[in-house]
Amino acid sequence: MTIYLQNPTFIDRQSCKVIKKNIKVTQGYEGKIEFIEKMPEQNQLAAEDKIINCADKIVTKSFGCGHHHIYSALARGMGAPKKIPENFKEILKYVWWTLDKCLDLDMIKASALATAIFCAKNGVTFVIDHHASPFAVKDSLFTIAEAFDKVGVSHLLCYELSDRDGEKSKQEALQEHKNYFNSGKQGNVGLHASFTVGDDLLKQAVLLAEKFNTGIHIHVAEDKTDQEDCLKDYGIRVVERLHKFGALNLHRTLLSHCIHLDEKEKKLIKNSGVWVAQNIESNQNNNVGLADYGAITDNVMLGTDGMHSDMLRSAKVAFFAGQSIEQPGMDTIYNRFRNIHNYMEKSGFKGDGANNLVILDYNSPTEVTSDNFLGHFIFGIEASHVQSVISNGKLIVEDKRVTTVNEAEILSYAREQGLKLWNKMNCGG
């Protein structure tokens, strides 16, 4: 199947240059886009080919999420935990670790399908997810992958390896990574965070990542207690510990948060060239502090930390909330928003080629030009403008409706699984 986009205003994602030419989009991981002067005649089209009229529409590269948690999808509207958390560790203990221990494969499937739908409708065609379900580890990554594939959203998954849930759960999580990679699927090796990962597990995780030619994906210094525990238990700071075990030698490594770093750690990250994911709304929600990412590295990408699937929203918050701490320019935030594509390209992962596009019905009161696109990006363009989405050359959202799955059925299934989860957690809605 080939999709032809007629008369679009195309914005090149790197240069922000406006190109007004028809576009031919071919399917598959190797698929690409081609600018064409003349549209094909009706009799030159194959039966399954499609022409989309893009007059007055903006077409650009679709979006990616650098740090997501599908496991939080069924938490929306959930009742209060048995104790109102007073600090970050209590948020984990009473909310997220209570929730993830109750997840079963059906709930994981519902969470992943719902997340993939929200991503697709927000123009997000690539997701890097960090998953935990300590009592439903086996097949969890395969379940998430299948759900994302069904909707048509590409992915880079991992499981949060940790010593927090005992030996059995840990062994299952190591095995799940091995099974997943051996089946030919791409992913990272996940670790929860330094303070729940002992030296032996950290060593095993790095060896696994080396063996399967990937990187580590871990929460780093999200709260200052991560550093305090590391200094107390190992006499060094979190990034130094990761460096000591070789995690920073892997150029696909992704460190999420990085709020509480000292100068030595910042230098280690910058010199190693590993990647950092910024999740500012989550940091505000957990009141763990905000970071000056510009002082760490240029390799910063944006994530949502499972709070939602709207990357345009994440970019706006990074810009506005960032003003109080690092005064980022619009170009800085745009680069962070787009850095996931550079991470994918440099890492050699698939699913983020040029044939991933979003069609925006953007009713601007002012001209959109190469020079002012960033102003539209920060102050104008929102997820509500996403009209259609092309993922690997396939139309997965058409006129705001997901074409690949039945959204109403899936959300009804998710609500059912959500109630089941809340009952199990003993925390009604």
Identity of the residue, 176 or 305, whose beta carbon is nearer to Zn ion in the bound complex? 305
Q: Which amino acid is at 62?
A: S
Q: Which residues have CB under 8 Å from 295's CB, separation 6+?
A: 266, 326
| Interactions with Zn ion, residue window 296-355 (CB under 5 A) | 305
Instruction: Report how far apart, in Å, the C-alpha atoms of 291 and of each of 180, 259, 356 are.
Output: 34, 5, 31
| CB 142 to Zn ion: min, Å | 21
Q: Which residues have CB under 8 Å from 199's CB, separation 6+?
A: 234, 245
| CB 257 to Zn ion: min, Å | 7
Question: Comparing C-alpha atoms, which of 4, 309, 301 is closest to residue 148?
Answer: 309
Identity of the residue, 57 or 131, whose beta carbon is nearer to Zn ion in the bound complex? 131
Identity of the residue, 240 or 305, whose beta carbon is nearer to Zn ion in the bound complex? 305
Identity of the residue, 57 or 177, whose beta carbon is nearer to Zn ion in the bound complex? 177
| Number of residues binding to Zn ion, judged by CB under 5 A | 1
Query: How many other β-carbons are positioned within 10 Å of the β-carbon of residue 42?
Result: 8
Evaluated on CA atoms 183, 185, 186, 191, the torsion sign reads negative
Identity of the residue, 223 or 305, whose beta carbon is nearer to Zn ion in the bound complex? 305
| CB 272 to Zn ion: min, Å | 21
Identity of the residue, 109 or 131, whose beta carbon is nearer to Zn ion in the bound complex? 131
Identity of the residue, 11 or 255, whose beta carbon is nearer to Zn ion in the bound complex? 255
DSSP string, 117-149: HHHHHTTEEEEEE-B--TTS-TTHHHHHHHHHH
| CB 222 to Zn ion: min, Å | 7
Task: Tell me the residue number closest to Zn ion, measured at CB.
Answer: 305
Burial class (CB in 10 A: 0-12, 13-18, 19+), 142: middle
| CB 97 to Zn ion: min, Å | 13
Identity of the residue, 256 or 417, whose beta carbon is nearer to Zn ion in the bound complex? 256
| CB 279 to Zn ion: min, Å | 7
Decide: is 172 part of the binding site for Zn ion (CB under 5 A): no
Contact 343, 254 (CB under 8 A): yes
| CB 362 to Zn ion: min, Å | 31
Cα pseudo-dihedral 335, 339, 340, 345, rounded to 10: 140
Identity of the residue, 91 or 395, whose beta carbon is nearer to Zn ion in the bound complex? 91
What b/e readout covers 398-423, taking b as 16+ CB neighbours within 10 angstroms? eeeebbbbebeebbebbeebbebbbe
Question: Comparing C-alpha atoms, which of 257, 264, 267, 319 is closest to residue 291?
Answer: 257
Question: Comparing C-alpha atoms, which of 130, 84, 98, 93 is closest to residue 306?
Answer: 130
Interatomic CA distance for residues 355 and 349, integer angstroms: 15
Kindly state the tokens that stand for 84.
């109102």
Binding interface with Zn ion (CB under 5 A): 305
